[in-house]
Amino acid sequence: MYPIDLTVPESEHAMALQLGARWNEKYAVWYVPRTFNAEPLSRWLTARQHVNVRARTLWLGRVYAPCPICETSIPLHGLVVPAGHSALFAADDPAEDFWQVVEEPAQLYDVAYVSAALQAVLRVHAPTFRLGYSELLEGFGWMNYCRHCRERIEDQGCALDFGSPLNPLDEHMAAKITLKELRVELEATCGSQSCGVQFFDQMPRSCA
Ligand SMILES: [Zn+2]
């Protein structure tokens, strides 16, 4: 069974159906079929009601590394928010969750939702980084796809593990990650975020 993925207001049911959303009678929930491209349905993703990071600008990290499946060298992307971003900290009682300014940059992992303005920018600058179904999360998330074999690459393999291409062990690895500033406001729902970014200053900035 799927997690509850979509919140669709009654007036938009017809539109959601037309875009591929389905209604589960038994559980009375809207969901995205597993193999379906969720992007047109992202406005209804329940995750957008649980935004937990905000920033006025962000960096798109990019590194070329072998695809874990076909081994072709491909671009992998990740989202990095600068020092001064805001994060929602969870309290024991959710009513007491609080926002706090974080004075360190952070990489975002298991991103379930990003605001529409950022989605549009990512379509242009990182077309192989998109919303898809994650087996590990059992839900939808933004992830890398191989531009050669088209397989999805979960954050686990390319960003979350220390020493993976987007999570450098040393300055030499960090020097291969370029950071491009995306001048767009970010609102996102992420599963986790790093506390600081290792070797952040060694990552070259790209302006093109
Ligand atoms: Zn591949």
Instruction: Count Cβ atoms below 10 Å from residue 159 Cβ, excluding itself.
Output: 25
Whether 72 and 47 have beta carbons less than 8 Å apart is answered as no
- What pLDDT band is residue 208 in, cutting at 50, 70 and 90? low
Question: What residue numbers bound the domain in which 18 lies?
Answer: 10-44
Q: If we measure between CA atoms, which residue out of 71, 75, 74 comes closest to residue 122? A: 75
pLDDT surpasses 60 at 18: yes
Asked if residue 2 is part of any domain, the answer here is no
Check whether residue 77 and residue 110 sit in a common domain. yes
**Strand partners of residue 65:** 74
The pTM for the full model equals 0.86
Check whether residue 28 and residue 129 sit in a common domain. no
Check whether residue 152 and residue 92 sit in a common domain. yes
Condensed to tens digits (0 to 9), the pLDDT of residues 89-119 reads 988 888 899 999 999 999 999 998 999 899 9
pLDDT surpasses 70 at 1: no
pLDDT number for residue 154: 87
* Distance from Cα 127 to the centre of ligand 1, integer Å: 15
Asked if residue 5 is part of any domain, the answer here is no
| Domain total of the chain | 2
* Distance from Cα 16 to the centre of ligand 1, integer Å: 32
Asked if residue 112 is part of any domain, the answer here is yes
* Distance from Cα 143 to the centre of ligand 1, integer Å: 14
Q: Give SS3 for 108.
A: strand
pLDDT number for residue 2: 43
Name every residue whose Cβ is closer than 8 Å to that of residue 47 and which is 6 or more positions away in sequence.
5, 112, 113, 139, 140, 189
Q: If we measure between CA atoms, which residue out of 107, 103, 112, 102 comes closest to residue 63? A: 107
Asked if residue 150 is part of any domain, the answer here is yes
* Distance from Cα 149 to the centre of ligand 1, integer Å: 4
Check whether residue 34 and residue 102 sit in a common domain. no
